[in-house]
Homo-oligomer: A and B are copies of this chain.
Amino acid sequence: MIDEKTAREAVIEAADELFYAHGVQAVGMDAVRTAAGVSLKRIYSLFASKDELIVAVLRHRTTVWDSGLASASERATSARERILAIFDFLDAWFREPDFRGCAFINTHGELGASSTAVADAVREQKRGFQEYVARLVSDAGAPATLAPQLAILAEGAQTTAAIAGTPDAAHQARAAAETLLDVATARG
């Protein structure tokens, strides 16, 4: 019906949407097949198991996250602005009606204990984000110790916004980031 690449993308995108909305374990492969319009046989020829599909979905989400972050910082003209753009990006995300927290954190909490492949994919995404922040901190001329602090603010904002159901955490975290940036870059 459709070529392999298109089918793969259709499955990944459908699974991504369902997994994010309902949790990974709550979504059966039948639901993925229906949403993607790809037969189970074909799905299992593209992914050896549900676990492998989950990992593929997480990797797909990593690239979506990375490009979203990149385009959010496009208008920024300084490293400091690019750092704060992270929190504006979060704010816009938190306001989306189907926001349900960070898919990586959610999936890690759900399967991190039983599937090392899933745990590795989650860890890899977080490591990438930490590196992204570290690069910006370095560009801003701030000490390297600032980077994990900003990353922790971003992580905390995501879980707080998800549980509270409000986007407030984004600008609260942004304000804290501004303070930390001010202090870190104001030395002599």
Contact = CB atoms under 8 A, between A and B. Distances in A.
Contacts of A149: 153, 172-173, 175-176
A2 interface: no
Contacts of A176: 149, 152-153, 176, 180
Contacts of A104: 163
A101 interface: yes
Interface residues of A, number: 50
A40 interface: no
A162 B22 contact: no
A55 interface: no
Interface of A: 21-23, 25-26, 100-102, 104-114, 119, 122-123, 126, 145, 148-149, 151-160, 162-165, 168-169, 172-173, 175-176, 179-180, 182-183
